[in-house]
Amino acid sequence: MRTNVTDQLRLPCGVVLANRIAKPAITEGLADPRGWPTAELERLYSGWADSNFGLMITGNIIVDGEHLERAGNVIIEAEPSSDHLAALKSWVGSARKNGAHFWAQLSHSGRQTQKVVNPEPLAPSAVEIGLPGGQFGKPKAMTAQDIAQVVYRFAMAARICKEAGFTGVQIHAAHGYLISSFLSPKTNMRTDQCGGSLDNRARLLMSVVMAVRKEVGPSFAISVKLNSADFQKGGFGPEESALVALKLERAGVDLLEISGGSYESPAMMNEKGGAVDAETVPKKASTLAREAYFFDFARELRRRLKMPIMLTGGLRTREGMQAALDEGVDVLGVARPVCVDLAAMKPFLAGETNTLPMWEEELRHKTGVFTTNSPVALIRTLSGFAGIYWFYAQLYRLGRGDPPVAGKIPMMALLEVMQAEKRILALRQKWLASRKAPARRVA
């Protein structure tokens, strides 16, 4: 029987998604200086809830405040106060008002933490990021105690998320962040039980999964976001990814989201990760091969796994989505269209339209962002990030309740968001300093 986008999906833990469309993790940058959810975050997720997604996944919720993915991340790194827990519950209430499942993406940025946040971030090995601009410091190789602490942090954060009303968590093991960097032989040079063989390099991920399951129980959804590949010579590749996926299936993971790349090779930002020749795949999948970034790997993985698979990146048409479902993909993630129009999915799910807005094509046509063939590394990097920051700028506006500005120049959006992040970091540093200040003596 053919699966449609509006069909329900029952996950191994018993959770039932109302349909096959998910709002995947989109880094929002809208938390307050403490890392608490705000009215802006509630406004965003309330709007997305009105789109009738079956599932929504938060942007990075950081388990260690010294390793932010970007300024404005939500942070859960300690037992919350009653006010902090109330803020989390209020955010969950906004997202779940129409019954959609709402999962927290738990993340540790590792060596991809900016130098202004932490000049010596933790990483499996002291391998620096090979990007121009000096944004990242030299990481510090983790001790066994550091690794144990990270496992504890993920498990604790998952338990708190369950208490706050989230219906699942996603463990971020992609995009070059901490767990992803442990998986990659290019960034993991360890000689202990967490380095060398794939079993060892996957030890942190599997330890986190098991610790989280112990905390949340068997009926709470656990997802993992996993790179299909790093897209770097000597890095984590498709065959190793498939073997890790099999481990995750045996560990009882409920949904595997496929992605790819890192800051050094950002396949998740453009079509590089979906470098598939449509002529080499079956005719019925040719549309999908052109449309979805990571389809080729998802298609191969489905032949080896029974676990539900989520495909995110580039899906914009009903034809492409149906092709993905026909190839055995279970959940379809749609992100960028709803960064400009919060309700873009509603008419699509209602059958009133068959195509979602293709903002990437508009940006590429007008400004040349996402161009990756410049001989100058800095230009390539700025071009790619300018396109992403254009979407960040729209989220800032939508969070405030303002309309999007589709005509915003991407490079101006990049500068605007960077300035906003600088202000947020300054406020956070001021708040952190106030917590460390000695108490005044009372006469």
What integer pLDDT is reported at residue 391 of this predicted model? 93
Give me the pLDDT at residue 134, please: 80
| ∠ CA 259-263-269, rounded to 5° | 50
d(CA 151, CA 159): 13
Which residues is 22 bridged to in the sheet? 55, 333
The whole-number pLDDT of residue 441 equals 47
| Summary mean pLDDT of the chain | 88
Please give the pLDDT value at position 440.
47
Q: Report the pLDDT value the prediction gives residue 231, as an integer from 0 to 100.
A: 73
The angle formed by the CA atoms of residues 1, 344 and 16, to the nearest 5 degrees, is: 40
Residue 283: pLDDT band (50, 70, 90) is: very low
pLDDT over 80 at 279, yes or no = no
pTM of the model: 0.91
Does 190 score more than 90 pLDDT?
A: yes
- What is the pLDDT, as a whole number, of residue 387? 83
- Euclidean distance between CA atoms 77 and 432, whole angstroms: 14
- CA–CA separation, 339 and 358 (whole Å): 11
- What is the C-alpha to C-alpha distance for residues 213 and 12, in angstroms, rounded to an integer? 13
> Any idea how long the chain is?
443
Please check the confidence at residue 254 and state whether its pLDDT lies above 60: yes
Mean pLDDT of 168-175: 96
Q: What is the rounded average pLDDT of the residues 383-395?
A: 87
* Tokens (6 digits) for 55: 């599932």
Question: Among 38-47, 224-233, 357-366, where is mean pLDDT lowest?
Answer: 357-366
C-alpha span between 112 and 60 (Å, rounded): 13
Contact yes or no for 176/261 (Cβ under 8 A): yes
Q: How many CB atoms lie within 10 A of CB 7?
A: 15
Identify the pLDDT of residue 131. Answer: 75
Section 312-322 average pLDDT = 90
Q: What pLDDT, on the 0 to 100 scale, is given for residue 35?
A: 98
Look at the block and give the residue holding tokens 């990659």. Answer: 184
The pLDDT value given to residue 263? 67
**Distance between alpha carbon 136 and the CA centroid of its chain, in Å?**
20
| CA dihedral of residues 413, 409, 176, 258 (deg, nearest 10) | 120
Secondary structure (DSSP) of 253-299: -SEEEEE---SSS-GGGSGGGG---GGGS-GGGHHHHHH-TTHHHHH
Query: How high is the pLDDT of residue 230?
Result: 74
